[in-house]
Amino acid sequence: MTMRRAPKKKIQKLAGDALRIANLAQAISQAGSRLEDQDWQNLLDAMVAKNLELKHQAVLDAAAEHVFTNLPDAYEILIESIESKATADQIKDGDSEYEIILVAAPILAWSRFEIFSGSIPAAILKSLTTSWRESLLCKGVQVSILPTLYSIDQLPQTYCDVNDVLHHTAKDYLNNKPAIAHKDLPKTVPFLADSRYLLGVVLAPVNSPVFQWQMTPSPFDIAKAKEATLLIWKQRAHAEVAHLLPGCGFEFLLPEAYYSACREADILIRPISIRSAVFYLTQTLNVEASDLGAVIGRFGPETHPGQVDELRVGFTLKNEPEVIYGVIWPLYQQEDEINALIGPSIHQMDERLGEIPTLLTESGVTNINILEDIFGMEYCDDCQAPLYADAEGELVHPEMPDDAPPEGSVHLH
- Residue type, position 385, single letter: A
Judge whether 391 lies within some domain: yes
The whole-angstrom separation of Cα 56 and Cα 17 is: 10
Tell which residue, 65, 53, 45, has the closest CA to residue 4: 65
Give the per-residue pLDDT at 353: 80
Judge if 366 and 222 occupy the same domain: no
Judge if 157 and 260 occupy the same domain: yes
Strands 193-205 and 388-389: unpaired
Residue 93: enclosing H or E segment and its boundaries?
A: strand 88-93
Judge if 136 and 249 occupy the same domain: yes
Judge if 141 and 188 occupy the same domain: yes
The whole-angstrom separation of Cα 44 and Cα 30 is: 14
Cβ–Cβ < 8 Å for 68, 75? yes
Q: Is 28 exposed, middle or buried (0-12, 13-18, 19+ CB in 10 A)?
A: buried
Q: Rounded to 5 degrees, what are φ and ψ at 47?
A: -65, -40
In this structure, the number of other CB atoms found within 10 A of the CB of residue 264 comes to 19
Give the per-residue pLDDT at 322: 95
Judge whether 1 lies within some domain: no
Domain ranges, residue 76:
16-85
Cβ–Cβ < 8 Å for 254, 226? yes
Judge whether 2 lies within some domain: no
Give the per-residue pLDDT at 300: 94
Last residue of a domain, one of 62, 85, 108: 85
Last residue of a domain, one of 234, 266, 298: 266
* Overall number of domains in the chain: 3
Judge if 249 and 290 occupy the same domain: no
Each residue's pLDDT expressed in tens, for the chain with a length of 413 residues: 343 455 555 545 688 999 999 999 999 999 999 999 999 999 999 999 999 999 999 999 999 999 999 999 999 999 999 999 999 999 999 999 999 999 999 999 999 889 999 999 999 999 999 999 999 999 999 999 999 999 999 999 999 999 999 999 999 999 999 998 877 888 887 889 999 999 999 999 999 999 999 999 999 999 999 999 999 999 999 999 999 999 999 999 999 999 999 999 999 999 999 999 999 999 999 999 999 999 999 999 988 888 999 999 999 998 899 999 999 999 988 789 999 998 765 444 455 589 999 999 999 999 999 999 999 999 988 887 899 999 999 999 999 988 776 654 343 33
Instruction: Write down the H helix ranges in 99-217.
Output: 122-136, 159-174
Judge if 259 and 118 occupy the same domain: yes
Give the per-residue pLDDT at 56: 97
> Longest Cα pair distance anywhere in the chain, in angstroms?
71
Residue 198: enclosing H or E segment and its boundaries?
A: strand 193-205
Whether the upstream peptide bond of residue 398 has omega within 30° of 0, thus cis, is no
Judge if 291 and 338 occupy the same domain: yes
Judge whether 10 lies within some domain: no
The whole-angstrom separation of Cα 312 and Cα 266 is: 14
The whole-angstrom separation of Cα 304 and Cα 128 is: 42
Tell which residue, 64, 66, 27, 68, has the closest CA to residue 44: 27
The residue ranges of DSSP E strands in 248-346, in sequence order, are: 249-252, 256-257, 292-300, 310-317, 323-330
The whole-angstrom separation of Cα 242 and Cα 235 is: 11
Judge if 79 and 99 occupy the same domain: no
Judge if 156 and 260 occupy the same domain: yes
Judge whether 182 lies within some domain: yes
Judge if 106 and 211 occupy the same domain: yes
Q: How far is CA 406 from CA 150, 191, 285, 326, in A?
A: 26, 15, 11, 18
Instruction: Write down the H helix ranges in 248-323.
Output: 258-285
The whole-angstrom separation of Cα 342 and Cα 357 is: 8
Judge whether 272 lies within some domain: no
Judge if 221 and 104 occupy the same domain: yes
Give the per-residue pLDDT at 285: 94
- Residue type, position 349, single letter: M
Judge whether 39 lies within some domain: yes
pTM summary value: 0.87
Judge if 46 and 187 occupy the same domain: no
Q: How far is CA 221 from CA 1, 139, 216, in A?
A: 18, 21, 7
- Residue type, position 242, single letter: A
- Residue type, position 23, single letter: N
In sequence order, the 6+-apart residues with CB closer than 8 A to the CB of 267 are: 2, 330, 332
Give the per-residue pLDDT at 184: 82
DSSP annotation of 161 reads H
How many helices (H) and strands (E) the chain has is answered by: 10, 13
Judge whether 325 lies within some domain: yes
